[in-house]
């Protein structure tokens, strides 16, 4: 049994609120341990530690700061297998996929080693007589991140690395469903030389989140999770005068043009639709073949692939995907399949009855595939977040792009085609933040930014890439004058460049 308290002031501390909940192991439904649920006082203790440590860290030269990130990378390499094991056991994804989760986080850490360059300001020599203008980027102070269950390594690292590289102190409130890896990440940062107090992990639920929203010393909040919570945090955080970026849910379409290479398309679709049991914000949950002939060719190849998906425990290296994260998530996803059937969609592959031999208490279901889904159905409109793929048949390319554009969500989208013209038109007109051309999961590489449009994102700066350094710093612009003998007397009109 592992009791996760909090990580405050450079060490693990026990929770004192008297509230905690179980951390489950989805592959067999056993209890792995507990996680403390913080009170406002515990959050405040973390803020006090962060506030005390931050000025010294901000005053540390930026190259020395990023050396801690370099050392951290070395330490994670040492612990890679152990971290992936914790992650897979708490989340349910396979160990191979858990390694990908960690790796995508590390790639952002690597890019953050360039923080000294990214934080450089600008300089204009001689903007006026004896006048020079320069800008500088300074850390915000104490900042916080609130992260979801589905990438317990990657998303915390996307936030921690740029925030601390820029000289901030960071408070992470990870998902209460899989806190093990975030806690270990904090320990590894201390071992890498990060001063105590610069990275704190406060475990908890809504009470801890509300304490973050109300705390006057927290200057910025980065959130990733479902859209309703993203909206809540964005509006309340902004009203409190904080800098806030919130990334929400998704319903990612894959448009399949008549000229697409169908073998390549089906390979891409099966991985992007069902990998990690569909619990990815960039999972493809809607396939949109253009024309009935394309749809029929797609279904001919896709149905047997969905029927033969291999579901298994997280520790089975031959499994395509593992269990869902909780018993509630399993019931919710199965409930959506029931809704789809009652709405009149054609359930071509039904994975609801799947049971994993020897792991009967795990949260498993098989892959589900719906055909003839229409835009008015709930299974099309709402995020299911499970191994359920909907096929919406579009008569024309214009209908297909309209579907993606009219959908409330706009996180990711893909087009599969051999036609450069169509792909180019699609990339330009589609109202979605991240676009794949023959790439099913277009998560941008770490030195580009990540973020959706519409109800998938609130705020105006994306995650990682250049936006991360903007989000975690504030710009100061200095206009300086060394008059060298120029005397122009008192000025009562606004200075201009005339
Ligand atoms: P969630 O919204 O339930 O939880 C996210 C965080 O918010 C957690 O830390 C949780 O403790 C906290 N939270 C939950 N309910 C709250 C409440 N009522 N008040 C205050 N805080 C609350 O999301 P999840 O189930 O952990 O993650 C899955 C969701 O995240 C999906 O919708 C998925 O699409 C989305 N997601 C989005 C992105 C993206 O970049 N857009 C990336 C990953 C996941």
197 lines ligand 1 (CB under 6 A): no
pLDDT score for 486 = 66
Residue 346 alpha carbon to ligand 1 centre in Å: 30
pLDDT score for 351 = 98
Q: By the 8 A CB rule, do 371 and 300 touch?
A: no
pLDDT score for 495 = 83
**Residue 463 CB neighbour total at 10 angstroms:** 22
Quote the distance between the C-alpha of residue 386 and its chain's center.
17
Rounded Cα–Cα distance for residues 474 and 138 (Å)? 5
250 lines ligand 1 (CB under 6 A): yes
Measured between alpha carbons, how far is residue 103 from residues 99, 109, 110 in Å? 6, 10, 10
Structure tokens at 251: 């319903």
Residue 435 alpha carbon to ligand 1 centre in Å: 23
Measured between alpha carbons, how far is residue 434 from residues 128, 253, 411 in Å? 43, 11, 6
Single out the residue of 158, 190, 191, 192 nearest to residue 172, CA to CA.
158
- Write down the residue that tokens 């905690």 correspond to: 20
Helix (H, G, I), strand (E, B) or coil at 138: strand
Rounded Cα–Cα distance for residues 233 and 222 (Å)? 9
pLDDT score for 152 = 98
Among protein residues, the one whose CA lies closest to atom 20 of ligand 1: 206
pLDDT score for 269 = 98
* Structural domain boundaries in the chain: 2-248+456-478, 252-437
> What does pLDDT average to in each consecutive run of 10 residues of the chain (498 residues)?
96 98 98 98 98 98 98 98 98 98 98 98 94 97 98 98 98 98 98 98 98 98 98 98 98 98 98 98 98 98 98 97 98 98 98 97 98 98 98 98 98 98 98 98 98 97 98 98 76 85
Same CATH fold, 252-437 and 2-248+456-478?
Answer: no
* Residue 239 buriedness (CB in 10 A; 0-12 / 13-18 / 19+): exposed
Rounded Cα–Cα distance for residues 117 and 456 (Å)? 30
Fold classification of 2-248+456-478 is Aldehyde Dehydrogenase; Chain A, domain 1 (3.40.605)
pLDDT score for 221 = 98
418 lines ligand 1 (CB under 6 A): no
440 lines ligand 1 (CB under 6 A): no
Rounded Cα–Cα distance for residues 55 and 399 (Å)? 55
Rounded Cα–Cα distance for residues 160 and 487 (Å)? 50
Out of 174, 226, 455, mutate this one to test ligand 1's pocket (max ligand atoms within 8 Å of CB): namely 226
Q: Where are the alpha helices (DSSP H) in 206-261?
A: 206-214, 227-239
Out of 156, 225, 228, 276, mutate this one to test ligand 1's pocket (max ligand atoms within 8 Å of CB): namely 225
Specify whether 246 is catalytic: no
148 lines ligand 1 (CB under 6 A): yes
Single out the residue of 258, 286, 257 nearest to residue 273, CA to CA.
286
Fold classification of 252-437 is Aldehyde Dehydrogenase; Chain A, domain 2 (3.40.309)
pLDDT score for 310 = 98
Selecting among 112, 246, 281, 368, the annotated active-site residue is 281
Edge-first strand listing for the sheet containing 388-391? 346-349, 368-371, 388-391, 284-289, 252-256, 412-416, 434-437
203 lines ligand 1 (CB under 6 A): no
pTM: 0.98
**Residue 474 CB neighbour total at 10 angstroms:** 16
Quote the distance between the C-alpha of residue 209 and its chain's center.
17
């Amino acid at each position: 049994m592992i009791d996760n308290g909090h990580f405050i002031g450079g060490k693990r501390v026990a929770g004192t609120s008297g509230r905690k909940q179980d951390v489950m192991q989805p592959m067999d439904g056993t209890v792995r341990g507990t996680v403390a649920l913080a009170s406002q006082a515990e959050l405040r203790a973390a803020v006090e530690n962060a506030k005390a440590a931050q000025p010294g860290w901000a005053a540390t030269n930026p190259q020395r700061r990023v050396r801690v990130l370099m050392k951290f990378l070395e330490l994670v390499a040492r612990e890679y297998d152990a971290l992936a094991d914790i992650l897979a056991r708490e989340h349910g994804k396979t160990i191979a996929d858990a390694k990908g989760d960690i790796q995508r986080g590390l790639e952002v850490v690597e890019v953050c080693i360039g923080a000294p360059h990214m934080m450089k300001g600008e300089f204009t020599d001689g903007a006026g007589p004896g006048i020079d203008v320069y800008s500088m980027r300074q850390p915000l102070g104490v900042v916080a991140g609130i992260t979801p269950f589905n990438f317990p390594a990657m998303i915390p690292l996307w936030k921690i690395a740029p925030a601390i590289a820029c000289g901030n102190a960071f408070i992470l409130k990870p998902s209460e469903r899989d806190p093990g890896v975030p806690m270990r990440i904090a320990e590894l940062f201390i071992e890498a030389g990060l001063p105590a107090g610069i990275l704190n992990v406060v475990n908890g639920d809504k009470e801890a989140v509300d304490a973050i929203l109300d705390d006057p010393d927290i200057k910025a909040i980065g959130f990733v999770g479902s859209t309703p919570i993203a909206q809540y945090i964005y509006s309340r955080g902004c009203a409190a005068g904080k800098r806030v970026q919130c990334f929400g849910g998704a319903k990612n379409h894959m448009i399949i043009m008549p000229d697409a290479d169908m073998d390549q398309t089906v390979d891409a679709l099966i991985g992007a639709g069902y990998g990690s049991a569909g619990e990815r914000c960039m999972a493809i949950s809607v396939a949109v073949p253009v024309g009935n002939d394309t749809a029929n060719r797609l279904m001919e190849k896709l149905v047997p692939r969905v029927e033969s998906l291999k579901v298994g425990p997280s520790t089975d290296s031959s499994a395509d995907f593992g269990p869902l994260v909780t018993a509630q998530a399993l019931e919710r996803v199965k409930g959506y399949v029931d809704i789809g059937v009652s709405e009149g969609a054609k359930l071509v592959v039904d994975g609801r009855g799947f049971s994993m031999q020897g792991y009967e208490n795990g949260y498993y279901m098989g892959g589900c595939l719906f055909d003839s889904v229409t835009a008015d159905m709930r299974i099309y409109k709402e995020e299911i977040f499970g191994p359920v793929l909907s096929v919406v048949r579009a008569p024309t390319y214009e209908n297909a792009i309209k579907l993606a554009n009219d959908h409330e969500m706009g996180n990711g989208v893909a087009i599969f085609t051999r036609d450069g013209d169509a792909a180019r038109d699609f990339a330009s007109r589609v109202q979605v933040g991240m676009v794949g051309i023959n790439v099913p999961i277009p998560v941008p590489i770490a030195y580009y930014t990540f973020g959706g449009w519409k109800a998938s994102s609130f705020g105006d700066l994306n995650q990682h890439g250049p936006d991360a350094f903007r989000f975690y710093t504030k710009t100061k612009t200095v206009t300086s004058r060394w008059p060298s003998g120029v005397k122009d007397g008192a000025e009562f009109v606004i200075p201009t460049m005339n």
